[in-house]
Amino acid sequence: MNAYSQRYEDYVRLIEQGLNNSMNILAGENISYDKPLVDAMRYSLLSGGKRLRPVLLLGAYATFRGDVETALPFAAGIEMIHTYSLIHDDLPCMDDDALRRGKPTNHIVFGEAMALLAGDALLNLAFEVMSACVHPYTLRVVNAIASRSGCRGMIAGQTADMVLSHQVPDKNKARYIHLHKTADLITAAVQGGLLLSGAPQKTLDAGERYGRHLGVAFQIVDDLLDLRGDVRKLGKEVHKDQMSGKITWPALAGEAQSEADAETEINLAVQAAEEIEGPAGFLGELARHTLKRVQ
């Protein structure tokens, strides 16, 4: 195992411990009729996954600080936000997906109403966990994450994804969706880690560019995997975007050009990462690994 892979695994282990601790505390507090809610929250939050966003937050923070445990509440919080978005995204009124991370989606197991409540609860728990952190930059970090996960960011992208379905697609629409639905929360993770570390404005600007390019590349790769992927490996249904009339990059540019465009975005992300951490750093290597998912 190389140094990058070891560091990624170390971060994931810390994140899993933090998420488990949060849910165990909550489970210890609840009374009997709240148990279905906590079970539904735990089911999706602790179901594994790449933990990309919290890993990015820890990696960005560690560029300037060594005590990554300080950043753990924010890493846990951003994963809770991501998980709530997946629960809601999978609902019948949205994408109507039955499989997520190789398991039945939350509403399939717990019903639509409880899935909706579990998502709402995870969103609120995220801000409870983050805002409770005693740190001079807590407010700045929470504000940055809230801005990019809300109606100006991730939710705006999800709205556009729904509203523009079955309309005549173009690259401007697709890029808007990619920038907001996917890239904004990825950027929030990077910015959150950098803000918490006290990084200078020049580095924050580079972090914004890194997150934007990485997020767009990630979504293009995800679109390609929807076409090429194996449900057993991906852990979710494939060809859903095409069947649902969603605007995707491969539908506009073709598969070969989409892969080339993803590589361009990754190269730009790596350039930005080098401004943050120098050459051969963790963030740059993470960007390169994103492209390998589809190669």
Query: DSSP assignment of 236-279, as one string?
Result: S-SSHHHHHT---HHHHH-HHHHHHHHHHHHHHHHHHHHHHH-T
100's enclosing H/E stretch is: strand 99-100
CA distances from 39 to 43, 117, 193, 229, 269 (A): 6, 11, 30, 30, 38
pLDDT attached to residue 66? 86
What is the pLDDT at residue 118?
A: 98
**What local confidence, expressed as pLDDT, does residue 193 receive?**
98
Q: Please give the backbone phi and psi of residue 152, each rounded to the nearest 5 degrees, phi first.
A: -100, -5
Which two three-digit tokens encode residue 60? 């960005």
**CB 19: neighbour CB atoms within 10 A?**
22
pLDDT values of the chain reduced to their tens digit, one per residue, 295 residues? 799 999 999 999 999 999 999 999 888 776 677 899 999 999 999 999 999 999 999 999 999 998 999 999 999 999 999 999 999 999 999 999 999 988 999 999 999 999 999 999 999 999 999 999 999 999 999 999 999 999 999 999 999 999 988 778 788 999 999 999 999 999 999 999 999 999 999 999 999 999 999 999 999 999 998 887 665 555 556 566 666 667 889 989 999 999 999 999 999 999 999 999 998 899 999 999 998 887 6
Q: How far is CA 95 from CA 203, 209, 244, 262, in A?
A: 37, 29, 8, 24
Q: Distance between CA atoms of 80 and 84, rounded to whole angstroms?
A: 6
Reference 10, options 62, 46, 47; nearest CA is: 62
Q: Which residue from 122, 121, 128 is spatially nearest to 142, judged by alpha carbons?
A: 128
Q: What is the pLDDT of residue 235?
A: 58
Q: What predicted TM-score, i.e. pTM, was given to this entire model? A: 0.95
Number of Cβ atoms within 10 Å of the Cβ of 39: 16
Helix, strand, coil percent values for the chain (each to nearest 5): 75, 0, 25
Asked if 173 and 247 touch (Cβ cutoff 8 Å), the reply is: yes
Half-sphere exposure of residue 5, counting CA atoms within 13 Å on the CB side? 2
Phi and psi at residue 49, in whole multiples of 5°? 105, 175
